[in-house]
Structure 1
Amino acid sequence: MARKKKKVGAYPAGMILFSLTLALFLIGFCGMLAIESKRLVQYIRENYEVRVFLDKDTDSTKAATLMYRTLADKPYTLTTDGKPQVTFVSKDAAAREFIAETKEDFSKFLTENPLRDSYRIKLNEAYFDESKLAGVKTDLENVDGVFEVVYQENLVDSINRNIGRIYTVMAVFALIMLLIIVVLMNNTIRLALHSQRMLIRSMQLVGATNSFITRPFLGRGVWQGLLAGAIAVVLLLVGLQVATHNLPELAYFQDTTQLIALLAGLVGLGALIGFFSTFQAVHRYLGLTLDELY
């Protein structure tokens, strides 16, 4: 029975495909976490409210018209679906909220409501900064009829500081992960190509050029990278669907555009890793002497 000839570039692919798929899956998972966390941060910032308390002698009708339009036209006021995020809270409504939160009914020992009519404004994410919020406070307090502007200064500083730390940790983790993956894939592909080192040497002896020898290996490496990327994308989408099914709130934090870009990038990254890792491994065997091959 004739011995089956080895085909150039046809080295065992199972181990490489599994390793590369796992690596791309981990990268994609980290990317999805980054996208979700960014949307979560945006949600927290855009739901932070600045309270604008009005003078007690301000007429409620005037407050509901002129003041609303003034505050809604401010560049820092968040607009969602064409609607400014400005909410009027009467002093009676504020009293009911106070009583519900504290369980203390001040109306039993006070003859009048000491609270004021107010507006609650949600700001654009770009203004969620201590210095910019101070400028917003100054600008609003110069509006006719405004008594005081209040926001939690320590909370803003704490949120920004913690967000910066989270992004730093995620960036370092992603960099370490990428380095580990590159080293892992280089070693995995090098081990897989070990079985074809003598075939590579034989082709060199009959006069084949390095580019002729390398071409089929690179083609297979790119194909494996694309396949691994496609499998990783499918696994990530399945995982995302399962997570969204169990936690429907996650759907709000998904950015479809960035998610598509991430998944497409994974497939492209798989092809790049397969190409360069294969090139480096094949180039190493091309430069070895016969004694070193053994």
Structure 2
Amino acid sequence: MARKKKNVGAYPTGRILFSLTLALLLIGACGLLAVQSKRLVTQVRESNEVRAFLDNDLDSTSRLALADKIAQEPFVLADKATSVRYVSKEAAAKEFIAETKEDFTRFLNDNPLHASYRIRLRETYFAEDKLKEVKAALEKMDGVFEVVYPENMVDNINRNITKIYAVMAGFALVLLIIIIVLMNNTIRLALYSQRLLIRSMQLVGATNGFITKPFLVRGLTQGLVAGLIAATVLCIGWYAALFSLPELTVLTDPLQLLMLAGGLIVLGMLIGLLSTFQAVNRYLGLTLNELY
């Protein structure tokens, strides 16, 4: 069977589309990792609780009024049902015994622990200076005996998160530069087959703008198609992962995923357009001897 002959000067559209789609998929995977990492960090920060221990002589009416007052503070998460949680003296004793494996009730006739409210804060207040402000505000309220929070853990978490973000940002930047350079070279090599066509158009009097326009439209279209394919594959892959691991649902933000998909499409169009523009301009300025 005879092999199909390639047309002289044929433009490798399929190869460019495949390469650009893979590059955008890799960028999208890094972006998805960054987005979900941000959601995970938010979950970690908002899962930590400030403990407001209550006066022992606080009656139930005053206690409920105090809960409503705490829930209205700007540093508390919006959902009162999960953000302000009451723990009685008895429940606190059971927690203490379970954690320390020591039953103090065997040698004490009374429960020395205080009832408390476990308060979840907004992520923006997960910092040492902000937590001190929260502690001071809560301790001014009537019925609050003492407020405590995990000081060392807050500093360690924030320090480690900063390091992780720095490493991820550096890796993503290097990866983006490498991919842009590789795609630029790929499109330049693809346009190498069109160099004589460009020269022929120049010889018949075509202006640079007239010559460049169809190439730019093709580069823009290829970037658009590659971006759409990459965004679709990325979204399908993520929701397939959610189907297998429903626990990941808490990390899912449809709006951020949609913005990431849109960013991939725009980035694909920019890469296709700018790389094509640069390559065409390069061949427009070459002499006949340089073209050969």
Measured against the shorter chain, the TM-score band is over 0.9
Residues 118-133 of structure 1 aligned to structure 2 (within 5 Å): 118-133=116-131
Is 2:205 the partner of 1:203? no
Q: Give the corresponding residue for 1:100.
A: 98
By how many angstroms is 1:103 displaced? 2.3
Q: In the TM superposition, what whole-angstrom CA distance separates every residue of 1:45-76 from its partner, at most 9, and x where no partner exists?
A: 111100011222333x1453222122222221
Q: Which runs of structure 1 show a deviation greater than 4 angstroms over 4 or more consecutive aligned residues?
A: 3-7
- 1:44 alignment partner AA: V
SS of 1:79's equivalent in the other structure is coil
By how many angstroms is 1:138 displaced? 1.2
Q: Take 2:11 and 2:7, find their aligned partners in 1: how far apart are those partners?
A: 12
- 1:74 alignment partner AA: E
Q: Take 1:169 and 1:176, find their aligned partners in 2: how far apart are those partners?
A: 11
By how many angstroms is 1:6 displaced? 6.5
The counterpart of 1:215, out of the listed 181, 194, 213, is 213
Is 2:271 the partner of 1:266? no
Q: Give the corresponding residue for 2:69.
A: 70
In the comparison of the two structures, how many residue pairs are matched?
288
Residues 1-294 of structure 1 aligned to structure 2 (within 5 Å): 11-59=11-59, 61-80=60-79, 83=81, 85-294=83-292
Contact 2:21/2:229 (CA < 8 Å) preserved in 1?
A: yes
Q: In the TM superposition, what whole-angstrom CA distance separates every residue of 1:173-208 from its partner, at most 9, and x where no partner exists?
A: 222122112111110011111111111111111111
- 1:104 alignment partner AA: E
- 1:153 alignment partner AA: E
TM-score, length-scaled by structure 1: 0.92
Q: Take 1:96 and 1:188, find their aligned partners in 2: how far apart are those partners?
A: 66
> Judging changes above 3 Å, is the alpha-carbon distance between structure 1 residues 290 and 76 closer, same or farther for their aligned structure 2 residues?
same
> Judging changes above 3 Å, is the alpha-carbon distance between structure 1 residues 4 and 107 closer, same or farther for their aligned structure 2 residues?
closer
By how many angstroms is 1:284 displaced? 0.3
By how many angstroms is 1:14 displaced? 2.2
Q: Take 1:219 and 1:75, find their aligned partners in 2: how far apart are those partners?
A: 51
Compare 254-263 and 239-248 and name the one that shifted more: 239-248
Task: Extract unaligned runs of 5+ from structure 2.
Answer: none
- 1:64 alignment partner AA: R
Q: Take 2:257 and 2:239, find their aligned partners in 1: how far apart are those partners?
A: 13
Q: Take 2:111 and 2:178, find their aligned partners in 1: how far apart are those partners?
A: 64
- 2:222 alignment partner AA: Q
By how many angstroms is 1:168 displaced? 1.6
Q: Take 2:142 and 2:228, find their aligned partners in 1: how far apart are those partners?
A: 60
Q: Take 1:72 and 1:252, find their aligned partners in 2: how far apart are those partners?
A: 23
Q: Take 1:275 and 1:286, find their aligned partners in 2: how far apart are those partners?
A: 16
> Judging changes above 3 Å, is the alpha-carbon distance between structure 1 residues 290 and 165 closer, same or farther for their aligned structure 2 residues?
same
Q: Take 1:190 and 1:56, find their aligned partners in 2: how far apart are those partners?
A: 77
Tell me the C-alpha RMSD between the 2 structures. Answer: 1.8
Percent pairwise identity: 62
By how many angstroms is 1:107 displaced? 0.9
Contact 2:63/2:143 (CA < 8 Å) preserved in 1?
A: no
Q: Take 2:30 and 2:198, find their aligned partners in 1: how far apart are those partners?
A: 38
- 2:149 alignment partner AA: Y
TM-score, length-scaled by structure 2: 0.93
By how many angstroms is 1:165 displaced? 1.6
Task: Extract unaligned runs of 5+ from structure 1.
Answer: none
> Judging changes above 3 Å, is the alpha-carbon distance between structure 1 residues 143 and 192 closer, same or farther for their aligned structure 2 residues?
same
By how many angstroms is 1:77 displaced? 1.4
